[in-house]
Amino acid sequence: MGDPAVSVGVYATAIWMIQRQEALATLADPAQDLAALEADVQAASRRGGRRHE
C-alpha cells in the first residue's frame, strides 16, 4: 500500500510543476471534502443528532 505522505508529496509536486500551487489550499480544506461532510451528517443522523434552530 505504501506511505500516504509519498502520494501527497507526488501530487503536490505535480501541482507545483504546472504552477497551480494555489490549488493546494483548496485540496487541504476540510470544507471542500464533501464525502467526509456527508459521512458526518449520516453519522449524526444515526446517533439521533438534532438540528440547531
The pLDDT of residue 31 is: 85
The pLDDT of residue 30 is: 83
Q: What is the pTM of this model?
A: 0.45
User: Are residues 10 and 2 in contact, defined by beta-carbon separation less than 8 angstroms?
Assistant: no
The pLDDT of residue 53 is: 58
The pLDDT of residue 43 is: 92
The pLDDT of residue 21 is: 87
Instruction: Give CA–CA dist 33/50, Å, rounded.
Output: 22
- Per-residue pLDDT reduced to its tens digit, 5-42: 788 888 889 999 999 988 888 877 888 888 888 998 99
